[in-house]
Amino acid sequence: MIGWRSTWSIYTRELMRFLRTAFQSVLAPVLTTSLYFIVFGAAIGGRMPDLGGVDYGAFIIPGLLMLTLLGETTSNSSFGIYMPRFTGTIYELLSAPVGVAETLIGFVGAAMTKSLILAAIILLTARLFVDYTIAHPLLAVLYIMLVAAAFSLFGFILGIWADNFEKLGIIPMLFLTPLTFLGGTFYSIDMLPAPWDTIALANPIVYLVSGLRWTFYGSSDVNIWISFGITLAFLAACVGVIAYIFKTGWRLRA
Amino acid sequence: MSETILELDGLTKVYPGGLKALDNVDLKIRKGEIFALLGPNGAGKTTLIGAVCGLVRPSSGTITAFGHDLATDWRKARARIGLVPQELSTDMFEPVHRGVSYSRGLFGLAPDPKRIEEILRSLSLWDKRDERIMALSGGMKRRVLIAKALAHEPDLLFLDEPTAGVDVELRKGMWSIVDEMRARGVTIILTTHYIEEAELMADRVGIINGGKLLMVDEKEAMMARLGRTEAHIALANPISELPVSIARFPVEIEEGGTSLCYRGGDGTGRGKEEVAEITKALLASGIDYTGIDVRESSLEDIFVSLLGEEQAA
């Protein structure tokens, strides 16, 4: 049994939190994406050959989208649950007739919504710099939602695990961003010399960037179904961890 | 006897590290009563509240609220329980009205602007409804927490130190709020350091220390059982022996025979009657006095004496 009113309350409140900082939330990705396009798209991209028949400026769009998506989704979701723990307001959530389903749909749903809004903003910003057409738009939206869901769940786990602000920031900063940069955001894995092209496949972000690139241009470094499979497996693993957290009350209930 | 709406049976909580915050606590709360849980810092009051409200996982024992076992059927039970925490924990950036409406929705109830208005008005928060919570004074913030806890119209409300750190005037305001809630039929369990508060408001009192519930009784019964009257009678002239007529009373000669001290009674007024009898007997025996100081022991005296006995044991 899911309490939909409770879920809706959590969801809308989280979105309100996002709207309170809407200016910063919208402007930051627009500015960052623009800078990437100016530096990599216009300045360097002009000297780069087409990759797989795709103009370099267009080639980096899925990677840039993934870069922002992973960072923003993880931090939105982790802050969403960490702040109530930090300020003590979590008492209200814990004392309410609200279970894992309501909490997840509310918090993670809001984080996903924010991510989708950001994705749309980034794609619109990209349009100002390069021409591109999305080969499989429905699959692209589905894939973006899937990745947003998985990393919202991951962020939720992070927000429960972290017991200080440093821990909250360390995973996105030290792992997600470097792995995304090394995950084929700005290049094709094929361009790497051996053995780095094989080693790169150990980076899970490669599959995410590659999967999104396939939905955009119909070609990628890795088979699209492997990308979907890995994303789904990661999502399932996060759901499992969260179910365990709620069952045991780890870091939530004394 | 009134219906039991909350029952704790053998409730025990041992925190990681070995601290036993609750030790086999049995307690029944009756519908419509105000129950005051008294105890020093670290006695286990907040842990007890946390265990009922879902913030603390009990190590053993059972909690039954409104006939639902909280371990299995927690949704139905929690929907009827409200909590006002000790700390002023609330989203400081949120306007008052939105924060209170959120609480109602979180507990699964449909929006009801009229009900929210009623709650805000009853707590003198209506004029502040659009203000951010961070802009309010400490006392007002506490009222917001109460409004949030009342938003889902709970039948059982926990007030954890509701008047801690608030000034006397606000404390009295809080007491009248509790009175209003009682009038609406809400059952209230409050913890407090101010024993005067328990004495004034509670129907029943529980004394907790070291995680153990030492005593639970009707306030009047507890005071009748453990209460004492203490009277000091200043004599016009010193005496060396008590007159026979008052020998049956618990009276002692003090201050070199210039004062008599009576310690007795039972908290029901019998002490005062005995003091009156003693004064009459003194006059009949030709012993004059210049002043009488009579004092009834308070709940605080009982509390301090009980804790003292516990520590001595």
Helix B168-183 crosses helix B138-150 at what angle (to 10 degrees)?
A: 10
ipTM: 0.85
- Among the listed residues B225, B290, B301, the one whose alpha carbon sits nearest the alpha carbon of residue B260: B290
Q: Give residue-wise pLDDT tens across range A78-136.
A: 988 999 999 889 999 999 999 889 998 998 899 889 888 888 988 998 888 888 889 99
Residue A147 clears pLDDT 70, i.e. is over it: yes
- Residues A223, A34: Cα–Cα separation, whole Å: 30
The structure tokens 């002239």 sit at B237
- Reply yes or no on whether the pLDDT at B129 is more than 90: yes
Set of chain B residues whose Cβ sits within 8 Å of the Cβ of A2: none
Q: Does the beta-carbon distance from A97 to B76 stay under 8 Å?
A: yes
Interchain CB contact of A9 with B (< 8 Å): yes
* Residues of chain A with C-beta less than 8 angstroms from the C-beta of B148: 92
Which of B19, B106, B107 is the best mutation test for A, with the most CBs of A within 10 A?
B106
pLDDT of residue B32: 92
Confidence of residue B311 (pLDDT cuts 50, 70, 90): low
Residue of B nearest to A2 (CA): B108
Subunit contact A5:B105, Cβ cutoff 8 A? yes
Structure tokens at A234: 């990661």
Tell me the nearest-neighbour CA distance from A248 into chain B, angstroms.
Answer: 9
pLDDT (0 to 100) of residue A98: 92
Residues in B closer than 8 angstroms to A13, CB to CB, are: 102
In the predicted structure, residue A242 carries a pLDDT above the cut 60: yes
Question: What is the per-residue pLDDT across A26-78, written as a single tens digit (0 to 9) for each?
Answer: 788 788 888 888 887 777 777 777 777 778 888 889 998 998 889 888 988 89
pLDDT score for B79 = 93
- CB-based contact (8 Å) between A253 and chain B? yes
pLDDT band at A222 (very low <50, low <70, confident <90, very high): confident
What was the pLDDT predicted at B267? 66
Average pLDDT of the residues of chain B? 88
Residue B225: pLDDT over 80: no
**Cα–Cα distance for residue pair A251/B13, rounded to 1 Å:** 16
Indicate whether B259 pLDDT > 90.
yes
Asked if A169 reaches chain B (Cβ–Cβ under 8 Å), the answer is no
Q: In this complex, which of A8, A93, A94 lies closest to B105 when CB atoms are compared?
A: A8
Give the pLDDT confidence score for residue A174 in this predicted structure. Answer: 87
Question: Which residue of B lies nearest to A1 if distances are taken between CA atoms?
Answer: B75
| A254 with B74: Cβ contact below 8 A | no
Contacts by A90-95 with C-beta closer than 8 Å and gap 24+? A90/A252, A91/B53, A91/B55, A91/B83, A91/B85, A91/B89, A92/B83, A92/B103, A92/B106, A92/B148, A93/A10, A93/B106, A94/A252, A94/A253, A94/B53, A94/B54, A94/B55, A95/B53, A95/B54, A95/B55, A95/B78, A95/B81, A95/B83
* Interchain pair B106, A93: CB under 8 A: yes
Best A16, A89, A90, A102 member to test B by mutation, with max B CBs in 10 Å, is A89
A20 touches B: beta carbon within 8 Å = yes
Which residues in chain B touch residue A94, judged by CB atoms under 8 angstroms apart?
A: 53-55
User: Chain B: which residues have CB within 8 Å of chain A?
Assistant: 15, 47, 50, 53-57, 74-76, 78-79, 81, 83, 85, 87, 89-94, 98, 102-103, 105-110, 148
Question: Higher pLDDT residue, B278 or A195?
Answer: B278
